[in-house]
Amino acid sequence: MCGAALAGGAALLLISLLATSWMTLAGFMLIAGLANSAMPPSTNRFLIRRIPRARQGIAFGVKQASVPLAALLGGLAVPGIGLTIGWRWAFAAAACLAAASGILAATPRVRATPMPRPIASSKPPGGTRALWVLTVGFGLGIFAATGLTTFMVLAAVTSGIDQADAGLLLALAAATSIAARVAMGLVADRSHRSHFQLIALMLVVGAVGYSTLALGAATRSPAVFVGGAILAYGAGYGWNGLFNIAITHSYEDAPAWATGFTQTGSGLASLLGPTTFGLLVTHTDYAVGWLAAGISALLAAIVILLGRRVLNASTARRPLTAPTARSDDASNV
């Protein structure tokens, strides 16, 4: 966690000081991407080892809220820093925050405690077939959301919203996603209903939000666009923490491995999503791009429900002598 935070901060500082072309920016983003890939598995394993099971839902919700929090800070940075003293200062400020978090992660008080029980088997108990399906579903959901995180400000301006107000809209939408992720963490701690089914429901509602964005873009209606942005960000991008807690509960003997596995779906989606969305917008318009995002969200819901079915089937086929998850996992996932 410490190394990933410091490496990410270094990439931000290099962008602030030395990025003068898209090629140098891409090089520094490569460093940031490597740091980003190391952070989720380590933080997920850390939470599993340090947080009591009854509070892991809210812990994962708060942790995953850091992603839209970054978007919120980025949105506020547009009018507050980017349009005043310059965008490089925004990256410099972010580098300072990353360095501070890296130093804090190295202190003894936040180190992970020993595992409460030994790893019983090198083979994850949930099987890899279900994990492959869930990874695809996770990737499709993130694929849909990449338009939000990458093109929200530009799309809002195209829909008739002022540039500074577009940055504030991004901050407001991100705040909605933060609230949704924390709320879903509370639900995970207090409810024994299926986490994956709730994730699918949120993705369906998110698809409605994407469709509303498409309508706002097509009609150039700022009010409709704002409503779609809040709905898409809240529901279509507020399920990540719930997904991670469902995965870690399903693969308790290998939480870092399992979430690292599913994170590959997120990584590929983050690579292909903005490119695909950008090409669609270039050759058509934003309305088509948002409709495509809605379709991807619906497909994600279907695939995640399929993955849940495969996971439950593989769990039911395990012999009684094999290591098993806790008795309430089947109802939770």
The closest alpha carbon to 186, from 65, 66, 45, 41, belongs to 65
The predicted pLDDT at position 114 comes to 57
Name residue, tokens 């002022």: 162
Who has greater pLDDT, 316 or 139?
139
* pLDDT (tens digit per residue) in 20-54: 898 899 899 888 888 888 888 888 888 888 888 88
pLDDT band at 263 (very low <50, low <70, confident <90, very high): confident
Who has greater pLDDT, 278 or 75?
278
First-to-last C-alpha distance (Å) of the chain = 28
Residue 171 pLDDT more than 60?
yes
Tokens representing 273 are 């999503």
Distance CA 98, CA 9 (A): 5
CA 308 vs CA 65, 83, 188: distances in Å: 24, 46, 16
The predicted pLDDT at position 333 comes to 58
User: Using CA atoms in the order 59, 187, 139, 300, what is the torsion angle rounded to 10 degrees?
Assistant: 180
The predicted pLDDT at position 118 comes to 43
Amino acid at 152: M
The predicted pLDDT at position 280 comes to 93
Residue 263 belongs to what H/E stretch?
Answer: helix 255-283
Tokens representing 287 are 């309305």
* pLDDT (tens digit per residue) in 97-107: 999 988 888 88
Distance CA 279, CA 277 (A): 5
pLDDT band at 328 (very low <50, low <70, confident <90, very high): very low
The predicted pLDDT at position 127 comes to 66
Residue 163 pLDDT more than 90?
no
Distance CA 220, CA 218 (A): 6
User: Among residues of the chain, what percentage have pLDDT more than 70?
Assistant: 88
Residue 120 pLDDT more than 90?
no
- Give Dmax (Cα) for the chain: 64
The closest alpha carbon to 239, from 95, 141, 331, belongs to 141
Query: What residue spans define the domains of the chain?
Result: 2-332
The predicted pLDDT at position 122 comes to 43
The closest alpha carbon to 260, from 136, 125, 135, 143, belongs to 135
2-332: CATH class: mainly alpha
* pLDDT (tens digit per residue) in 73-92: 777 777 777 777 888 888 89
Q: What is the pTM of this model?
A: 0.76
152: Cβ contacts below 8 Å, ≥ 6 apart = 166, 169, 170, 173, 229
The predicted pLDDT at position 307 comes to 93
* pLDDT (tens digit per residue) in 228-248: 999 999 999 889 888 988 888
* pLDDT (tens digit per residue) in 176-201: 988 998 898 888 888 766 789 999 99
Count of residues making up the chain: 333
The predicted pLDDT at position 111 comes to 63
Who has greater pLDDT, 316 or 66?
66
CB 142 within 8 A of CB 276: no
The predicted pLDDT at position 126 comes to 52
CA angle 193–194–199, rounded 5-degree value: 120
pLDDT band at 318 (very low <50, low <70, confident <90, very high): low
**Residue 265 DSSP SS3:** helix
Q: What is the average per-residue pLDDT within 259-266?
A: 88
The predicted pLDDT at position 203 comes to 96
- Give 274's Cβ-side CA count (13 Å radius): 10
Instruction: Burial-class residue 54 by CB neighbours within 10 Å (0-12, 13-18, 19+).
Output: exposed
pLDDT band at 327 (very low <50, low <70, confident <90, very high): very low
Residue 293 pLDDT more than 50?
yes
The closest alpha carbon to 239, from 67, 33, 72, 73, belongs to 67
The closest alpha carbon to 94, from 71, 125, 118, belongs to 71
